[in-house]
Amino acid sequence: MCGIIGYCGHRPAVPLVVEGLRRLEYRGYDSAGVSFVQGGRLSVIRAEGKLSGLEKKLESQHVFSATSGMGHTRWATHGPPVEKNAHPHLDHSGRLAIIHNGIIENYQEIKTELAQKGVEFRSDTDSEVLVNLIAHCLKDTGGDVTRAISKALSRVEGAYAIVVMSVDHPGTLWATRVASPLVMGVGTGENFFGSDIPAFLPYTRDVVFLEDGELVRITASSWEVMETASLKPVEKKVNHINWDVQAAEKGGHKHFMLKEIFEQPKVIRDCLLGRISQQGGQVRLPELDELPVPERLHIVACGTSYHAGLWGMYLLEKYAGIPVQVEIASEFRYRDPILPKNGVVLAISQSGETMDTMAGIKLAKGRGLPVIGLCNVVGSSISREADYVVYSQAGPEISVASTKAMCSQLAALLLLTLYWGRRSGRMAEDDCARMLRELQAMPQMLEEALPGLRAKAQRLARHYAEATSFLYLGRGPSYPLALEGALKLKEISYIHAEGYAAGEMKHGPIALIDPHFPTFAIALDDEFFPKVKSNLVEVQARAGEILALTNEGLDLAVEQPWTLPRASGPLAAFVILPAVQLFAYEMADYLGKDVDQPRNLAKSVTVE
């Protein structure tokens, strides 16, 4: 959630750090700050709100001679989003500073102990407790910061990614992680820390992925990794990232979210690249060839990825004959689930850092089940923890509201379905080949359809701009897309929305229908259309207005029909998805909301 960047090198550190924080804004935050050593003094400058507030404060400071520093954008967990709780935090003596992502679960116990020893606290955060614990341990280590961090963390329970700076060691930074993302960038005469690679991508593409329980010390010219507990050296591999820096820019679009919606044709192409045989009739997923076709599949995910998993369930059961159970990761991890030995767990996450999903993976592996990770970020925690990894190939996704990542997840889940369906003999080769041909044609269809979809979404957004609630309805594979449409609308426009299986409406939600409560329905030309049509007649009988995604030629009389290009079977999802995303986007933009950084949300959810 929080954004972290650290730098040791030869450039002016503070402007570089602020620039890095700007590239991490998509993670969501409520305050920001930087720290640096200059003139023998450890300085901390913080501000509430957006980075512009911090930059305004920095204008009156001379900060250009510092060549090492660190910065942080905070998403509040302990204490309200006010300046005293913003990072970095100093210890009580002002000689150590810390930035921290995560939660220290036993901070109150440690805080009470330190307060009894005379430490005065200036914030409500668990992070300030941690930096004071490290400072306290310095007394027992003769001023050795590395050993003090190790000693302090032996007492800490929870999740964290931290970077520490000392006034007594200018030009040096320390960092460590447990269950929160942190990577190191290796440059020439400069080294970096970041909670995500875009923080330092303009300066280096050479990256070291850090594991839980590893402690790193960097200077401008050196870096070393060791075990946090024992301080034994750890050999690490430097990985080269082939990301395009331009992929993290808006490319002429008003918002990243809009850019990423329009990138979905490319996303599908990229996901298919190298995964379809030259003859076109088979899916190639060599990363899974050694894994037998699952006899049972447990899909574990959160949020948008959970909706993708629900959609995948319909396909996997129908076309591959695999019984599937889809689990909300934050619930799954605290149950005592029955996981048969012949089962497989599929964990889905855009970032590959979602803490609840990570916990679900560890639970499954503890029961002896193989785990497949379906994620977007190479080298992420989930990709390293899983036994098998399928990358969705969506590229960097910046907007907090996920769009193209779900498209890539749907494409990957369809490929998984066809791959297992053919291996098990459940699916005929001709049927598989036909579906693959249609999937390969989808990018061109979307490229042609997206401008018209956006224009229609703009008109509908203006028509419904005064609505305060929406009911989204769908059946079969369209039901998870109704859930996703409702999620997108509420997370970026702040309009209350509920997604429902259309047949369940009469079991309660129909009581809400009135002329001021519109319904957004998915009513396409498929096997579910007659049933959905009946459900919509029930809405109209209560004077409810209906906006319906539909196909040309269908007998459907609704107030606001939205005709989509035809796509057969599960391929329709790739047209429905951008439609519901664009409706939410245009509604939020028309209402003047912060589309890319909606309130209270963060891109990578690394706390419970």
In the annotation, is 318 catalytic? no
pLDDT at 148 over 90: yes
pLDDT at 249 over 80: no
**What burial class does residue 365 get, using C-beta atoms within 10 Å of its C-beta: 0-12 exposed, 13-18 middle, 19+ buried?**
middle
Q: So what's the pLDDT on residue 247?
A: 58
Phi, psi of 103 (to 5 degrees): -140, 130
- Between 91-95, 142-146, 291-295, 601-605, the lowest mean confidence (pLDDT) is in 601-605
Nearest partner of 362 among 342, 339, 378, judged by Cα: 339
In the annotation, is 533 catalytic? no
Helix (H) or strand (E) holding 216: strand 214-218
pLDDT at 582 over 70: yes
Q: So what's the pLDDT on residue 94?
A: 96
- Per-residue pLDDT reduced to its tens digit, 519-568: 999 999 999 999 999 999 999 989 899 999 999 999 999 999 999 999 99
532 contact partners, CB below 8 Å, separation of at least 6 = 473, 474, 475, 502, 521, 522, 523
Distance between CA 491 and CA 595 in Å, rounded? 9
What SS3 state is found at 31? strand
Distance between CA 35 and CA 115 in Å, rounded? 25
Section 485-506 average pLDDT:
95
Section 452-471 average pLDDT:
97
Confidence of residue 75 (pLDDT cuts 50, 70, 90): confident
Residues 2, 137, 271, 375: which is the catalytic one?
Answer: 2
Q: What percent of the chain has pLDDT over 70?
A: 97
**Which residues are paired to 161 by β-bridges?**
101, 177
Q: So what's the pLDDT on residue 28?
A: 65
**Which residues are paired to 160 by β-bridges?**
102, 179
Q: So what's the pLDDT on residue 531?
A: 94
Nearest partner of 352 among 372, 382, 374, 327, judged by Cα: 382
Q: So what's the pLDDT on residue 244?
A: 62
Per the document, the length of the chain is 608
Q: So what's the pLDDT on residue 393?
A: 86
Q: What share of the chain is helix, strand, coil (3-state, %, to 5)?
A: 40, 20, 40
Confidence of residue 280 (pLDDT cuts 50, 70, 90): low
Distance between CA 304 and CA 405 in Å, rounded? 9
Q: Specify the DSSP class assigned to residue 400.
A: S
Domains and CATH numbers, the chain: 3-243 (3.60.20.10), 248-590 (3.40.50.10490)
pLDDT at 243 over 80: no
Helices 264-272 + 404-424 axis angle, to 10: 30
Distance between CA 592 and CA 461 in Å, rounded? 12
Distance between CA 245 and CA 252 in Å, rounded? 15
Q: So what's the pLDDT on residue 484?
A: 98
109 contact partners, CB below 8 Å, separation of at least 6 = none
Instruction: Calculate the dihedral angle through the C-alpha atoms of 268, 274, 275, 276, rounding to the nearest 10 degrees.
Output: 100
- Per-residue pLDDT reduced to its tens digit, 466-493: 999 999 999 999 999 999 999 999 999 9
**Which residues are paired to 166 by β-bridges?**
96
- Per-residue pLDDT reduced to its tens digit, 188-226: 999 999 998 889 999 999 999 999 999 999 999 999 999
Could you tell me if 405 and 393 are in contact, meaning their C-beta atoms sit under 8 angstroms apart? no
**Which residues are paired to 498 by β-bridges?**
471
Could you tell me if 447 and 491 are in contact, meaning their C-beta atoms sit under 8 angstroms apart? no
Q: Specify the DSSP class assigned to residue 603.
A: S
Q: So what's the pLDDT on residue 608?
A: 57
Distance between CA 114 and CA 479 in Å, rounded? 53
Number of Cβ atoms within 10 Å of the Cβ of 510: 17
Could you tell me if 472 and 446 are in contact, meaning their C-beta atoms sit under 8 angstroms apart? no
Q: So what's the pLDDT on residue 607?
A: 52
- Per-residue pLDDT reduced to its tens digit, 159-180: 899 999 999 999 999 999 997 8
- Between 271-280, 425-434, 597-606, the lowest mean confidence (pLDDT) is in 597-606
Question: Which residue, chain included where needed, has tokens 């916990």?
Answer: 359
Section 134-139 average pLDDT:
96
Query: In the sheet where 191-194 sits, what is the strand order?
Result: 41-48, 31-38, 68-74, 3-8, 191-194, 183-186, 206-209, 239-240
Question: β-strands 206-209, 3-8: how paired?
Answer: unpaired
Section 14-24 average pLDDT:
94
Question: What's the number of CA atoms in the CB half-sphere (13 Å) around residue 324?
Answer: 22
More confident residue, 482 or 379: 482
Q: So what's the pLDDT on residue 604?
A: 56
Whole-structure pTM value? 0.75
Residues 151, 490, 533, 603: which is the catalytic one?
Answer: 603
Q: So what's the pLDDT on residue 86?
A: 96
Section 387-409 average pLDDT:
92
Extract long-range pairs of 241-247: CB within 8 Å, 24+ residues apart. Answer: 241/197, 241/201, 241/205, 241/206, 241/207, 241/378, 242/205, 243/197, 243/201, 243/205, 243/395, 243/396, 245/201, 245/202, 247/395, 247/396
Q: What angle do CA 51, 54, 55 make, to 5 degrees?
A: 85
Distance between CA 148 and CA 151 in Å, rounded? 5
Q: Where are the beta strands (DSSP E) in 95-180?
A: 96-104, 158-166, 173-178
Look over the chain and give the mean of its residue pLDDT values, rounded to a whole number.
93
Query: In the sheet where 388-391 sits, what is the strand order?
Result: 324-328, 296-301, 343-349, 371-375, 388-391
Section 361-387 average pLDDT:
92
Q: So what's the pLDDT on residue 192?
A: 98
Joined tokens for residue 448: 């042609």
Q: So what's the pLDDT on residue 560?
A: 96
Amino acid 447 reads E
Nearest partner of 35 among 81, 119, 91, 103, judged by Cα: 91
**Which residues are paired to 206 by β-bridges?**
240
